[in-house]
């Protein structure tokens, strides 16, 4: 049982906020929801949309179609009328928008609701049209209004009784208008509230922030950059509850260096940015690597190079993250596929960083970072904290001029790490190559030994890495390989393909680098491999060719700023399996320009 609601209009009219609110109505009453927004890099104007997918089963990704389009202006209808399913509808303000000159798809039902008039009658302004539309939609779905009413009281509690009352009146006005003017029983979708469960609705960035807090985060340093900024907002919101120092730095260079300093001092520290900010941080990553200081970084990818398209999604920073900073050194790259993985892998990132004293990167993207998804709270697992060879208690005092062997050669390559101020633990942390006692050196043999010591960590590290998740039948004719945020998209496509009698499975990687040993065996046992990515050069496919020695029968790539949709993966996977396609670049041929809110081209 599923219903897809889409609202569109200009930026500045609460389109994203109404999507979250609409999704919460259903997650509070036993359903699952996924909220996906598209918007240009504008505060006002342009074209914004938010899609809310409601289901009685878990959902983690959007669809290309919608069942009801809420149009706050005419352009929203022009841009999205062809996405509406058969017997779907358009809810719009018939007093303000004239659709008589548009050739609307057949079987689309029009619901004319005077959104602005109802909002003003309730004592509100034009921005409250979305609230009226939510009330009207609930009436169409035959859903009790009380659930939206209670949520409005909660969401607007800090704004006072007047704001609460106005919003409730506006929503009830839309609800009553549908009841009085339409036969809602004829609407093909209806929902009934289900028993409540402990379910939250959160973005990927909020899941990363929550995972960091659960992992014992005590210092967070960042400079805002879309789409990573909301991690900073989330942690700052909870800093006093969890005794965290949150620093909004002057730039990304300061952020990463402060994070290294905090980790050196012995507290769990983190920073986050997007591709352009990460470019500024790369020199400091080498400092963390050579000084063997734990460093946890989240990188939320967006379209590049340079400024690119700041509010759209891509997976094109993978090779950059894999190779950032000069020299050879061990790092870990993790790429969560959904909010549950974002929460859990962030905790794991802190453990890996401290256990092996290395940089660990959490690689997300705009799609996962800013999409909002429901999750059962009891499925968000807490991972025990492991701090490795951290020394926090005083030891025997050192002799005069003696230094602690901070970089001692050990069997596993990991040296003991005393925090500053510990008696007997005095040492230097330097960006220069060093002896065991931390003093700088250019002694050739020592250089070789130190490189080998740091590299030796991988022997134990790979035991902590999980192989890719297999979805679908083991004996499949085709295996789709994906990583990061495309996990739910590809998994849904696999289900669609198998339902259609096409034997396909998928391998999803969330542990990107180093490659888990089991992964190579799984890849080589597949009959035919197709790589699915959100970039133009199949970066992860090339990485797997280099490190796992596998070949791909084809690729399904997208790099226009949107994620792939399950319907697209379904279509092109079948064509590749039938030998009708090989390497596919997927993009929308629609004429919608979000930045200027117009239709362009032929």
CATH number at residue 224: 3.40.50.970
- The domain boundary residue, chosen from 197, 223, 240: 197
Q: Which helix (H) or strand (E) holds 325?
A: none
The candidate with the shortest Cα–Cα distance to 38, out of 588, 540, 486, is: 588
Strands (E), 58-213: 66-71, 84-92, 109-112, 199-203
Q: Is residue 211 part of a domain?
A: yes
Three-state DSSP state, 104: coil
Judge if 11 and 139 occupy the same domain. yes
Query: Is the separation of the CB atoms in 286 and 326 below 8 Å?
Result: yes
Judge if 418 and 542 occupy the same domain. no
Judge if 299 and 339 occupy the same domain. yes
**Rounded CA gap, 164 and 181, in Å?**
26
Q: In this structure, what CATH number is given to the domain that contains residue 98?
A: 3.40.920.10
Judge if 489 and 344 occupy the same domain. no
Query: Is the separation of the CB atoms in 441 and 434 below 8 Å?
Result: yes
Judge if 182 and 217 occupy the same domain. no
Q: Is residue 597 part of a domain?
A: no
Q: How many domains does the chain have?
A: 4
The candidate with the shortest Cα–Cα distance to 334, out of 523, 506, 456, 483, is: 483
Q: Is residue 600 part of a domain?
A: no
Domain that includes residue 480, residue range: 468-592
Sheet holding 245-248, edge to edge: 245-248, 219-222, 269-273, 295-301, 359-365, 332-334, 511-513
Judge if 404 and 371 occupy the same domain. no
Judge if 163 and 40 occupy the same domain. yes
Judge if 220 and 312 occupy the same domain. yes
- The domain boundary residue, chosen from 464, 490, 523: 464
What are phi and psi for residue 333, nearest 5 degrees? -120, 120
Structure tokens given for 500:
């259609």
Cα separations (Å) of 356 from 388, 519, 564?
A: 7, 22, 35
Three-state DSSP state, 408: coil
pLDDT reported for residue 45? 87
- 350-381 burial code (b ≥16 CB/10 A, e <16): bbbbbbbbbbbbbbbbbbbbbbbbbbeeeebe
Q: In this structure, what CATH number is given to the domain that contains residue 483?
A: 3.40.50.920
Phi/psi zone of residue 472: left (φ > 0), alpha (ψ -120 to 50 degrees), beta?
A: left
pLDDT reported for residue 107? 87
Judge if 129 and 230 occupy the same domain. no
Judge if 426 and 549 occupy the same domain. no
Judge if 215 and 347 occupy the same domain. yes
β pairing state of 84-92 and 583-586: unpaired
pLDDT reported for residue 303? 98
Q: Is residue 599 part of a domain?
A: no
189 class by beta-carbon count within 10 Å (0-12 exposed, 13-18 middle, 19+ buried): buried
Our CA angle for 209, 301, 468, nearest 5°, is: 75
pLDDT reported for residue 108? 93
The candidate with the shortest Cα–Cα distance to 133, out of 45, 203, 63, 69, is: 69
Judge if 186 and 207 occupy the same domain. no
Give the pLDDT means over successive 10-residue stretches in the chain (602 positions): 96 93 95 96 91 96 97 96 94 96 92 98 96 98 96 94 96 98 91 88 97 98 97 98 98 98 97 98 97 98 96 98 97 98 98 98 98 94 97 96 95 97 94 96 98 98 97 97 98 98 98 96 97 98 96 97 97 96 91 89 58
Q: Is residue 601 part of a domain?
A: no
Q: Is residue 493 part of a domain?
A: yes
Q: Is residue 149 part of a domain?
A: yes
- The domain boundary residue, chosen from 412, 444, 464: 464
Contacts of 269 (CB under 8 A, 6+ apart): 217, 218, 219, 220, 221, 258, 259, 260, 261, 262, 263, 296
């Amino acid at each position: 049982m599923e219903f897809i609601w889409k609202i569109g209009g200009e930026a500045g009219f609460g389109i994203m906020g109404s999507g979250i609110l609409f999704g919460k109505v259903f997650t509070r009453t036993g359903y699952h929801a996924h909220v996906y927004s598209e918007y240009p890099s504008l505060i006002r104007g342009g074209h914004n949309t938010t899609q809310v997918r409601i289901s009685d089963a878990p959902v983690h990704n959007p669809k290309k179609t919608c069942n009801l389009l809420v149009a706050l202006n005419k352009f929203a209808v022009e841009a999205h009328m062809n996405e509406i399913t058969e017997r779907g509808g358009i809810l719009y303000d018939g007093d303000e928008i004239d659709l008589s000159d548009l050739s609307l798809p057949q079987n689309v039902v029009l619901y004319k609701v005077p959104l602005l008039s109802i909002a003003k009658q309730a004592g509100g302004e034009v921005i409250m049209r979305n609230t009226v539309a939510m009330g009207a939609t609930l009436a169409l779905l035959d859903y009790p209004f009380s659930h939206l009413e209670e949520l409005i009281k909660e969401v607007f509690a800090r704004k006072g009784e007047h704001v609460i009352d106005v919003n409730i009146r506006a929503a009830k006005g839309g609800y009553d208008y549908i009841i009085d003017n339409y036969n809602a029983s004829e609407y093909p979708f209806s929902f009934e509230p289900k028993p409540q469960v402990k379910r939250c609705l959160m973005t990927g960035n909020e899941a990363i922030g929550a995972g960091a807090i659960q992992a014992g985060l005590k210092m967070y340093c960042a400079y805002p950059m879309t789409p990573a900024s909301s991690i900073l907002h989330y942690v700052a919101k909870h800093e006093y509850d969890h005794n965290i120092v949150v620093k909004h730095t002057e730039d990304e260079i300061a952020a990463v260096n402060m994070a290294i300093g905090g980790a050196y001092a012995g507290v769990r520290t983190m920073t986050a940015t997007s591709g352009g900010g990460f470019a500024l941080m790369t020199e400091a990553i080498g400092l963390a690597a050579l000084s063997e200081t734990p460093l946890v970084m989240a990188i939320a990818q967006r379209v590049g190079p340079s400024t690119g398209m700041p509010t759209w999604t891509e997976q094109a920073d993978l090779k950059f993250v894999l190779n950032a900073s000069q020299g050879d050194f061990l790092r870990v790259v993790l790429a969560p596929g959904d909010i549950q993985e974002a929460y859990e892998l962030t905790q794991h990132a802190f453990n890996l960083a401290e256990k092996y004293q290395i940089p660990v990167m959490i690689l997300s993207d705009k799609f996962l970072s800013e999409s909002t998804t429901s999750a059962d709270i009891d499925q968000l697992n807490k991972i025990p904290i492991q701090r490795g060879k951290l020394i926090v208690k005083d030891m025997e005092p050192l002799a005069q001029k003696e230094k602690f062997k901070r970089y001692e050669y050990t069997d596993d390559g990991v040296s003991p790490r005393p925090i500053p101020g510990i008696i007997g633990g005095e040492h230097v942390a330097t960006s220069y190559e060093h002896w065991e006692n931390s003093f700088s050196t250019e002694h050739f043999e020592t250089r070789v030994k130190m490189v080998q010591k740091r590299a030796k960590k991988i022997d134990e590290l790979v035991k902590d890495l999980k192989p890719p998740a297999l979805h679908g039948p083991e004996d499949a004719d085709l295996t789709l390989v994906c990583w990061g945020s495309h996990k739910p998209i590809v998994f849904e496509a696999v289900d669609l393909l198998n339902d259609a009698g096409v034997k396909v499975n998928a391998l999803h990687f969330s542990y990107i680098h180093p490659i888990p040993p089991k992964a190579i065996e799984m890849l080589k046992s597949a009959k035919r491999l197709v790589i699915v990515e959100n970039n133009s050069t199949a970066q992860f496919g090339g990485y797997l060719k280099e490190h796992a020695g596998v070949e791909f029968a084809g690729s399904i790539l997208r790099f226009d700023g949107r994620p792939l949709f399950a319907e697209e993966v379904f279509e092109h996977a079948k064509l590749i399996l039938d030998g009708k396609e090989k390497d596919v670049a997927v993009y929308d041929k629609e004429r919608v320009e979000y930045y200027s809110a117009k239709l362009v081209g032929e």
